[in-house]
């Protein structure tokens, strides 16, 4: 992520010739992978609504319903860095196949438990552990497979298409999950198991170019296991611009993760109905979906450091404005505007940070970055929850905005972040 060409020398040549320079819509491997991930992400969104409902039905305890998500997140964080080690050591397509098979089997076991009338809390928590452990490995391998299937000049377009998938799934998954659960408790799990199976089958037909055999990993074998697993963290920390960009993005993620929670509490304080709250919070997902069309023009007009600071600045203004008494329509609009910048930020992080890390270390760098972001999000949600116990929703959003404003001021004074440039390959793509 540095401004000079020194970092770009670390990029390996196999990625430069990873796929034929054909239109992205005719890139069979990428489109198969993308279609499979549509099924997988939709199934995941459906399940994330259905699991707490089933736990609540089995136990009658909201605490245990929340514990399911907590177990899943904690397991994901615990397995994040080891997942990067696996992604750098083994064939990434085969790893993704294993992940999808594992998730399909775990969800299928819930279907079987329903059919046998033996659904239990212990079983559901075990499924939370399995799904949580699979999540970081699936995310890392899928991201790296996209890089191997798409030529560098088309990477922004490919990542934008990935953002369309994610936001469309986030928008349609929860209401679809609720509708399926209303039919019968087992139905959302049947659909989710089918979704993971469909992703598995489609991935079977993906044929990425021959990847580099990760030869440097064999040299790393002489290092202790812990040292190998922390290569990604050290790669992100060792270069000033990488470090500044990662920390600023992590700060943004920490603050934005609990925004929906604080908005829900604030709207409840105003006496808004659950249905109205649901439609209000959809503004974030709708904004994210609409924001995918802004990725290419924003990346073309602004340098990465300036764009990151601009997105951070608009984010703390919009979050702070949620405390303003501007009517019930304003939170929906503010969340929509906040969501507009999300795709540009995520694609920026992918191109700016991960392209600067050598391919043989990239899996560990991706996993390390996602672990840092996930830990920040968990910390942000926990801290916001504690704050909401003792203060109003308006105070909570002002505190979140203040934290992000402080991070923005630090970023604005960080020379490496302000002067960061797009990697050389991305410059060629922008010029083309």
What does the pLDDT profile of the chain (432 residues) look like in tens digits? 433 333 333 343 344 444 446 788 888 889 999 999 999 999 998 888 888 888 888 888 767 876 787 788 888 888 887 888 888 888 889 999 999 999 999 999 999 999 999 999 999 999 999 999 998 899 889 888 888 888 878 888 888 888 888 888 888 888 888 888 888 999 999 999 999 999 999 999 998 875 544 444 444 556 666 666 677 778 778 878 788 888 898 899 899 988 888 888 888 888 887 678 878 888 888 999 899 999 989 988 988 889 999 999 999 999 999 998 888 889 999 999 999 999 998 888 877 766 777 777 777 788 788 888 888 888 888 888 888 888 888 898 999 999 999 999 999 999 888 888 877 654 444 434
Neighbours of 313 (CB within 10 A): 16
- Taking the C-alpha atoms of residue 250 and residue 139, their distance in angstroms, rounded to an integer, is 17
Closest to 44 in 3D by CA, of 125, 97, 99, 113:
99
Q: Which two tokens stand for residue 194?
A: 């089918």
**175 CB-near residues (< 8 Å, 6+ apart):** none
Q: Which are the contacts of 332, defined by CB distance < 8 A and separation ≥ 6?
A: 279, 280, 282, 283
Tokens 């699936």 -> residue: 138
- SS3 assignment for 36-97: HHHHHHHHHHHHHHHHHHHHHHHHCCHHHHHHHHHHHHHHHHHHHHHHHHHHHHCCHHHHHH
- Please give the Cα distance from 51 to 351 (Å, whole number): 34
Q: In angstroms, rounded to a whole number, what is the distance separating the alpha carbons of residues 196 and 185? A: 18
What whole-number distance in Å separates Cα of residue 288 and Cα of residue 91?
A: 32
Protein fold of 18-208: Growth Hormone; Chain: A; (1.20.1250)
- Residue 244: CB partners within 8 Å, gap ≥ 6? 411, 414, 416, 417, 420
pLDDT in the model for residue 68: 81
Query: Which CATH number describes the domain made up of 226-432?
Result: 1.20.1250.20
In contact, 111 and 193? CB cutoff 8 Å? yes
Q: How far is it, in rounded angstroms, from Cα 166 to Cα 371?
A: 19
Closest CA to 165 of 343, 336, 315, 21: 343
Q: Does 18-208 match 226-432 in CATH topology?
A: yes
Distance CA 15, CA 2 (A): 19
Closest CA to 407 of 280, 271, 255, 257: 255
Distances in whole angstroms, Cα of residue 120 to Cα of each of 49, 53, 142, 220, 222: 18, 13, 32, 44, 45
pLDDT at site 73:
82
Distance separating alpha carbons of residues 380 and 370, to the nearest angstrom: 15
Which sequence spans correspond to the domains of the chain? Answer: 18-208, 226-432
The model scores a pTM over 0.75: no
């Amino acid at each position: 992520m540095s401004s000079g060409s020194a970092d770009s020398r670390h990029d390996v040549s196999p990625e430069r010739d990873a796929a034929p320079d054909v239109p992205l819509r005719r890139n069979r491997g990428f489109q198969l992978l993308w279609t499979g991930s549509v099924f997988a992400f939709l199934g995941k969104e459906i399940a994330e609504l259905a699991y707490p409902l089933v736990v609540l039905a089995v136990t009658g305890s909201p605490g245990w319903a929340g514990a399911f998500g907590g177990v899943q997140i904690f397991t994901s964080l615990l397995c994040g860095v080891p997942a990067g080690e696996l992604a750098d050591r083994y064939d990434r397509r085969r790893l993704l196949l294993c992940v999808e098979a594992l998730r399909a089997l775990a969800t299928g076991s819930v279907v079987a438990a329903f059919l046998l009338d033996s659904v239990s809390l212990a079983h559901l928590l075990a499924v939370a552990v399995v799904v949580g452990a699979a999540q970081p490995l699936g995310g890392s391998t899928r991201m790296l497979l996209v890089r191997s299937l798409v030529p560098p000049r088309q990477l922004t377009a490919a990542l934008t298409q990935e953002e369309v998938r994610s936001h469309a799934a986030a928008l349609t998954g929860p209401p679809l999950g609720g509708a399926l659960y209303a039919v019968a408790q087992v139905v959302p799990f049947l659909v989710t198991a089918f979704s993971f199976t469909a992703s598995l089958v489609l991935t079977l037909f993906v044929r990425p170019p021959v990847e580099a055999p990760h030869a440097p990993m064999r040299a790393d074998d002489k290092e202790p296991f812990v040292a190998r697993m922390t290569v990604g963290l050290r790669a992100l920390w060792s270069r000033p611009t990488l470090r500044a960009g990662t920390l600023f993005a992590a700060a943004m993620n920490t603050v934005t993760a609990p925004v929906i929670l604080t908005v829900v509490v604030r709207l409840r304080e105003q006496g808004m109905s659950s249905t109205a709250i649901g439609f209000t919070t959809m503004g974030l997902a709708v904004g994210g979906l609409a924001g995918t069309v802004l990725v290419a023009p924003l990346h073309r007009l602004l340098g990465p450091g300036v764009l990151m600071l601009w997105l951070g600045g608009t984010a703390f203004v919009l979050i702070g404005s949620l405390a303003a008494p501007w009517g019930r329509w304003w939170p929906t609009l503010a969340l929509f505007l906040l969501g507009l910048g999300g795709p540009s930020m995520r694609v920026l992080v992918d191109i700016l940070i991960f392209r600067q890390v050598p391919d043989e270390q990239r899996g560990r760098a991706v996993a390390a970055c996602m672990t840092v972001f996930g830990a920040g999000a968990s910390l942000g949600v926990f801290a916001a929850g504690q704050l909401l116990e003792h203060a109003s929703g308006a105070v909570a959003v002002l505190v979140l905005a203040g934290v992000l404003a402080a991070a923005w001021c630090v970023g604005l004074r960080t020379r490496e972040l302000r002067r960061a440039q797009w990697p050389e390959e991305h410059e060629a793509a922008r010029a083309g």
